[in-house]
Structure 1
Amino acid sequence: MKIQHMVAGMTLSAILGLSVPTVSYAGTTENTIQAGATGSSVVLLQNDLNALGFTVGEADGQFGVVTTTEVEAFQKAHKLTANGVVNTATWQALNKAVAAMTTKPVALSASSAAAKNLEIKHIYYNNKLITSPYGFTYDNTDYMPIWYVMNTLDKEGFTHTWSGNVWNIETSSTADKSIDYSKIKYGKGSMAIAINGTVVARVIGVTHVDPSSKAMTTFMPIYNVEKALARMGIQSTWNGKTWKMTPSAGGSSTVPYGNVDLRFPAPSDITATSLNNYLDKVPYQGAIGSPLAGLGTSFIEAQNTYGVDATYLAAHAILESAYGTSAIAQQDNNLFGYGAYTDNPGQDAGVFPSDDYAIRFEAWEVRNNYLDPGSSNYGGSPTLTGMNVNYASDPDWASGVGSLMGQIATSVGSSVSDYQQYASNNTAPAPSSTTEPVYYLNGATGTTKTNTYYNGVPYYASAADGQNDMFFGPLENGSQGQSVTELQKFLNTQMNAGLTTDGDFGAATETAVKNFEAEKGLPQDGIWNFSMWQTYIDPLQTTPTLPAGQTVTVDEIEQGMAGGYVVPWYHIPNVGWVDAQDIQLTNVYRLIAANPLSTNTSIPVYSDASSTQTIATLHSGDFVVSAAPTANNGMYEIQFAAQTAASSDGKTPGTLMTGYVSAQSATLSPQA
């Protein structure tokens, strides 16, 4: 549909039937709104805040942590009660401040000498000439009629609205995710440029006769339009006569934060405190704040130890755990969906001894298996787009994490440009550790259970040895895991089977097993059973065992695998590592906050039953040990251990401690 030239005062939205961004005018007073509010009043508020330099980023109509913080900053600056609640007084102050920035459009007659160098210009898009409108210079600034710019962008599939002197550029829903809404701030002007309802610039607009149509037409400064288009990934060059627009690689639908090199630390303004502030105020499903509040130190510690961007880790946890509210996050401390396979996620998801440990484990896993070139799941680059190749089946996974990274960055006034971008010649900092983290326990006991295949409970020098050498069940078509990998290696060595050692038991592996069975005179069913495992892969039967029903002590937990499933491994002092499925813990409990879906998920631990001194802060879901799981005079006595120096006031990891927890702040829930 051809759009008419924009005449001053003309309502283009009436022609197109499209919406326009909400802007404020002097005298407008909206209803009182605060954190958790949604809708057009919030869009109005967010655009006003951006205009005045209190940048909230995208005007998405969600009154969240960033909007609350900037409202408080505005209120402080205008000597109002800084409570984040936008009442009549705050609206009036906003309207007055915005009205002071609004000017009238400049109207120039066709013969005005103020429009200098009126001549034909040229607009190219992606090296193709699209249109050749008239342009001019006013007040030492180059101007172009906006209708022709719209017409050019139409070629790329954009749509537009124009109302109240606001030009709104509308993108596709896919491209919405990659718009750069950071660091919005603008001065006085008569007209505005918006992207999807978020005003990104205010400009001095000029109306002048277009020599081509002989109609009064709206002109805007080319420089301001270039800056707005750059937020959508469209770069520009202008030499005074020719304007060349070039979409960035991948167009405007590239993954937000998709090229950030995740092996580098987040910008310095991403701290434990700033992450906690964000998690404490972020709105989700009608509530304010996330149960992940208080885990800021864990994200930063994981970054500093394993060399993985803390913003990414927090965003990934938010995405996979629904801000910490999902069932597996609440029941299993599983913040990243680890092991939650598509077919049966609730049953298959791994159990972690704490949220802190889940964060540290994820950082270790991601750095060693996804971000380091040459690692098992490296996807071509240490970025979100690289991870998406092998980490998630959802093609939009990287976009989801990237969008959340943008929200976190915006909350501290940062943007993607503040992050290390990936280049093939980057030299990433070496991580402080490449060793898998462990979770320390203090006085945990358990009872060995009967193992289906072994005469007792098998134990190993390391969890890795157990994952490689233990038989977890019959291996057949559809089986997965390290046991399958070991089988494939064996068949390649014994028969030159030529199998890919990928841990996936498919048709080729089944054929190789049948060939081996035929060679040994065994039934050719293609199933590798326990007898075959012991006879051929572990012929010396060297695996030591503990008898069933024995009481043991467990001092460490390490996340691992059992066949194709995520399973913790327990360390028994002076014995070795045991598959957690073979131990029934008897005095280990989950410390659950009084309201685990709230932000009050940090639980103080006191030195004595009188709450004299706080000696540690644990988080809802943490594994602890207790000899008496019922409260005595309103207090639980627990045993626990320092996990990291950063989270334990400098104590050496593994330091054993005893403390008291108020029954008003938490309860003890048995850990199966």
Structure 2
Amino acid sequence: MKAQHVVAGMTLSAMVAVSTPAVSYAQTTEGTLQAGSTGSTVVLLQNDLNALGYTVGQADGQFGVKTTTEVEAFQKAHKLAADGVVGAATWKVLDAAAAALVTKPIALSASSKAAKSIGVKHIYYNNELITSPYGFTYDNTTYMPIWYVMETLDKEGFTHTWSGNVWNIIVPNTASQSIDYSDIRYGKGSMAIAINGTVVARVIGVTHVDPASKSTTTFMPIYYVEQALNRIGITSDWNGTTWKMKSNASQGGGGSTTVPYGNVDLRFPAPGSITASSIDSYLSKSAYQGTIGSPLTGLGASFIDAQNTYGVDATYLVAHALLESAYGTSAIAQQDNNLFGYGAYTDNPGQDAGVFPSDDYAIRFQAWEVRNNYLNPAGSNYGGSPTLTGMNVNYASDKTWASGVGSLMGQISSSVGLSASNYQSYSASNAAPAPSSTSEPVYYLNGATGTTKADADYNGVPYYSSVSDGQNDMFFGPLENGSFGQSVTELQKYLNTTTNAGLQVDGQFGTSTETAVKAFEASKGLPQDGIWSFSMWQTYIDPLPNTPTLPAGQSVNVDEIAQGMAGGYVVPWYHIPNVGWVDSGYVQLTDVFRVIAADPQSANTSIPVYSDPSGTQSLATLHSGDFVVASSSTATNGMYKIQFAAETAATSGGNAPGTLLTGYVSAQRASLSAQS
């Protein structure tokens, strides 16, 4: 029975339309069904029987003994031939009876007096505050916005669809066997709640403007939602203001140990329907703190290119970027193109966070880093499996990190009709595709210039043949208790090799390392202060007598940027042609700007570049925050003239990486901000 689709104002992106609704709403005629029939029409039949009090339990699409028995009971009650066969006559009566259950949706305006006691409520899950949405009382019943309830359930790996006014809760496979489908009886209502396609309640839904998002959204009575969730092992305690949900792991319902998408092998590409365009479509409709549309919109090609180049699932990359960057709105995402929180240490995240030359580069760098160090069994941070669960061992101290990323993967997947079952699950026998590249990505510049700054220790700026050499060999400052990073790692390795110190090589300068340094100082007749100085670094760890340097104040060209470390901090390194790589902290760029969209917090963050100053011939598309080169930050006749380079063929209109380009950007679409 084909439903009449009446969309009830659910504009938030989590409500994703599906092709077949879970329950019927209008009269139709269908083919004959009988014992042995299967398929979606049987599902609709079973849902309607449940709705009318003829309980068949789970609407599983299998016309078996229970369904036959309830069809016969329905036929007897309506004076039809009780043969258990659903033909035209039975369909007609069944459709009329089901349609009679449907009331019109209730739409309340923002100023309606019928919505009373509007105020902030709090939803907890397993004693953790998840969200604080607005709710209200209508007809003496408390109503809550369903989008925020869904956001809470996402913590346990549930996904959702919304079609024909049916909210369908999709339960993780690990919990699906414990769903309670007994005694399904429900009354009239314009909206329905389903579990894995089986409607378990029909409720009077209300559409109203959510005070938080300013968007019209769907509210449902909390009592019926609680009863539905109880069927999947989630109990509720409601006091009028605070809603405390708890999962019962023994009965399924996700359980606190369930990680949504936690066993997906991230070395395999996402299913084919995850494309650049589907990613951008999802991002343009995504909702964060009441705002629709992420600033990451337009980066779909970058996510797919990173997947194809470095062998990391694009769905994961999008989900991780959304989680770490607050959907692209965080300060470090906006100011530093830092989408994954690199270097944003807890004590001073804004100051310590690493700077990336573009969002596209940040995505490529993340894919390269994750594939080599977290998903590779030989990687330094491999956690036992190339999955979210494995990554959580060493990637984040927050033990719910994997669940957060996995929940977002579920939302992205459901937007194109996928679930975790469509992805490659991890098995030790998996033969993962080899990545196209294992080399660290670089960002190409076109004509950038800068001036070197003094380094007191070296009396100039040291340069190296590679970023890795610089990270290992350069002295970034005195090493003492509390220091961390690659320099400390090199020191610990040296002490273990030369003095059998037995230190754990973890890059953390603690009491054990300090004791080993003092012992070393004593053996060399040095003051025993436990501090590894520059002279000790050059004498013992980097004994090259003449580390090459550039004098301070020298003009240099910069043609590439690569992300690296300086001690314990994430920093870019600059490549100077015919010289080498230098720590960016010792070069002041003089003509590099960030091209910033007119509204960088919106979804309109793609910036067209034209080959002519009149803006008629399209050349390329940049993204807000990209580094470009310009002789001036002042527009001429409403256009900025910029120099830039193609980064990858996939994201640069087919131009080979490193191709130098010159173009024009409209001052109405963007501005130039000096990159210091």
Decide: shared fold, TM above 0.5. yes
- Residue number in structure 2 paired with 1:131: none
Cα distance, 1:383 vs structure 2: 0.8
- Residue number in structure 2 paired with 1:452: 456
- Determine the C-alpha separation between the residues in 2 that align with 1:115 and 1:414: 31
- Are 2:385 and 1:418 aligned? no
SS of the aligned residue for 1:340 comes to coil
- Determine the C-alpha separation between the residues in 1 that align with 2:441 and 2:455: 27
Residue 527 (structure 1) aligned to one of 531, 543, 553: 531
Cα distance, 1:478 vs structure 2: 1.5
Check whether the contact 1:35–1:288 (CA below 8 A) recurs between aligned residues.
no
- Are 2:605 and 1:626 aligned? no
Cα distance, 1:198 vs structure 2: 4.7
SS of the aligned residue for 1:590 comes to strand
Residue identity opposite 2:158 in structure 1: I
- Determine the C-alpha separation between the residues in 2 that align with 1:229 and 1:436: 49
Check whether the contact 2:68–2:84 (CA below 8 A) recurs between aligned residues.
no
Change beyond 3 A, Cα 1:117–1:446: closer
- Residue number in structure 2 paired with 1:33: 9
- Determine the C-alpha separation between the residues in 1 that align with 2:609 and 2:284: 21
Q: Deviations over 1:336-372 (max 9, x none)?
A: 1111011111111000000000000001111111111
- 5+ residue gaps in structure 2? 26-44, 57-64, 70-82, 86-125, 127-140, 169-182, 202-228, 235-248
- Residue number in structure 2 paired with 1:483: 487
- Determine the C-alpha separation between the residues in 1 that align with 2:349 and 2:391: 21
- Residue number in structure 1 paired with 2:656: 652
Residue 53 (structure 2) aligned to one of 70, 82, 105: 105
- Determine the C-alpha separation between the residues in 2 that align with 1:171 and 1:328: 28
Q: Deviations over 1:525-545 (max 9, x none)?
A: 110000111111222323100
Change beyond 3 A, Cα 1:181–1:513: same
Residue identity opposite 1:525 in structure 2: D
Residue 178 (structure 1) aligned to one of 135, 144, 157: 157
- Are 2:512 and 1:508 aligned? yes
Residue 20 (structure 2) aligned to one of 50, 53, 57: 53
- Are 2:379 and 1:375 aligned? yes
Q: CA RMSD in A?
A: 4.1
Residue identity opposite 1:440 in structure 2: Y
Cα distance, 1:586 vs structure 2: 0.2
Q: Deviations over 1:257-283 (max 9, x none)?
A: 111111110000000000000011112
- Residue number in structure 1 paired with 2:29: none
Residue identity opposite 2:296 in structure 1: L
SS of the aligned residue for 2:673 comes to strand
Q: Deviations over 1:229-258 (max 9, x none)?
A: 99889xxxxxxxxxxx98679857401111
SS of the aligned residue for 2:504 comes to coil
Check whether the contact 1:594–1:664 (CA below 8 A) recurs between aligned residues.
yes
- Determine the C-alpha separation between the residues in 2 that align with 1:607 and 1:488: 54
1:379-390 matches, cutoff 5 A: 379-390=383-394
Cα distance, 1:660 vs structure 2: 0.3
Check whether the contact 1:192–1:203 (CA below 8 A) recurs between aligned residues.
no
- Determine the C-alpha separation between the residues in 1 that align with 2:591 and 2:159: 51
Check whether the contact 2:608–2:620 (CA below 8 A) recurs between aligned residues.
yes
Cα distance, 1:178 vs structure 2: 2.1
Check whether the contact 2:22–2:194 (CA below 8 A) recurs between aligned residues.
no
Change beyond 3 A, Cα 1:545–1:444: same
- Determine the C-alpha separation between the residues in 1 that align with 2:47 and 2:382: 53
Cα distance, 1:190 vs structure 2: 8.0
- Are 2:304 and 1:300 aligned? yes
- Determine the C-alpha separation between the residues in 2 that align with 1:107 and 1:572: 75
Residue identity opposite 1:273 in structure 2: S
- Residue number in structure 2 paired with 1:567: 571
SS of the aligned residue for 2:374 comes to helix
Cα distance, 1:100 vs structure 2: 8.4
- Determine the C-alpha separation between the residues in 2 that align with 1:29 and 1:488: 66
- Residue number in structure 2 paired with 1:128: none
Cα distance, 1:204 vs structure 2: 11
SS of the aligned residue for 2:641 comes to strand
Q: Deviations over 1:72-103 (max 9, x none)?
A: xx9xxxxxxxxxxxxxxxxxxxxxx9998986
Residue identity opposite 1:526 in structure 2: G
- 5+ residue gaps in structure 1? 1-24, 57-73, 75-96, 109-113, 119-137, 141-155, 157-162, 206-227, 234-244
Check whether the contact 1:337–1:349 (CA below 8 A) recurs between aligned residues.
yes
Cα distance, 1:417 vs structure 2: 0.3
SS of the aligned residue for 1:568 comes to strand
Change beyond 3 A, Cα 1:323–1:198: farther
Q: Deviations over 1:414-470 (max 9, x none)?
A: 111001111111111111111000000000000000112111100000011000000
- Residue number in structure 1 paired with 2:584: 580
Check whether the contact 2:158–2:254 (CA below 8 A) recurs between aligned residues.
no
Residue 613 (structure 2) aligned to one of 609, 612, 623: 609
Residue 672 (structure 2) aligned to one of 647, 664, 668: 668
Change beyond 3 A, Cα 1:107–1:560: closer
Residue identity opposite 1:558 in structure 2: A
SS of the aligned residue for 2:628 comes to strand
Cα distance, 1:499 vs structure 2: 1.8
Q: Deviations over 1:158-217 (max 9, x none)?
A: xxxxx9xxxx9x999678622354699999x98479xx9555444799xxxxxxxxxxxx
- Residue number in structure 2 paired with 1:359: 363
Check whether the contact 2:269–2:312 (CA below 8 A) recurs between aligned residues.
yes
- Determine the C-alpha separation between the residues in 2 that align with 1:278 and 1:183: 15
Which segment drifts farther, 306-315 or 379-388?
A: 379-388
Number of residue pairs matched by the alignment: 516
Check whether the contact 2:448–2:557 (CA below 8 A) recurs between aligned residues.
yes
- Determine the C-alpha separation between the residues in 1 that align with 2:55 and 2:380: 65
1:132-147 matches, cutoff 5 A: none
- Residue number in structure 1 paired with 2:321: 317
Residue identity opposite 1:443 in structure 2: G
- Are 2:354 and 1:350 aligned? yes
Change beyond 3 A, Cα 1:628–1:183: closer
SS of the aligned residue for 1:106 comes to coil
SS of the aligned residue for 1:408 comes to helix
Change beyond 3 A, Cα 1:561–1:178: same
Residue 291 (structure 1) aligned to one of 290, 295, 306: 295
SS of the aligned residue for 1:639 comes to strand
SS of the aligned residue for 1:475 comes to coil
- Determine the C-alpha separation between the residues in 2 that align with 1:619 and 1:263: 27
- Determine the C-alpha separation between the residues in 2 that align with 1:171 and 1:296: 25
- Determine the C-alpha separation between the residues in 2 that align with 1:199 and 1:328: 39
TM-score (normalizing by structure 2): 0.69
- Determine the C-alpha separation between the residues in 1 that align with 2:642 and 2:500: 56
Check whether the contact 2:47–2:198 (CA below 8 A) recurs between aligned residues.
no
Change beyond 3 A, Cα 1:304–1:539: same
- Are 2:545 and 1:541 aligned? yes
- Determine the C-alpha separation between the residues in 1 that align with 2:162 and 2:421: 11
Check whether the contact 1:232–1:252 (CA below 8 A) recurs between aligned residues.
no
Residue identity opposite 1:386 in structure 2: G
- Determine the C-alpha separation between the residues in 2 that align with 1:560 and 1:531: 24
Cα distance, 1:671 vs structure 2: 0.3
- Determine the C-alpha separation between the residues in 2 that align with 1:366 and 1:115: 51
Check whether the contact 2:22–2:198 (CA below 8 A) recurs between aligned residues.
no
SS of the aligned residue for 2:661 comes to strand
Q: Deviations over 1:118-176 (max 9, x none)?
A: 9xxxxxxxxxxxxxxxxxxx969xxxxxxxxxxxxxxx9xxxxxx9xxxx9x9996786
SS of the aligned residue for 2:538 comes to helix
1:48-197 matches, cutoff 5 A: 53=20, 104-106=52-54, 177-181=156-160, 191=185
Change beyond 3 A, Cα 1:117–1:503: same
Check whether the contact 2:278–2:416 (CA below 8 A) recurs between aligned residues.
yes
Change beyond 3 A, Cα 1:173–1:652: closer
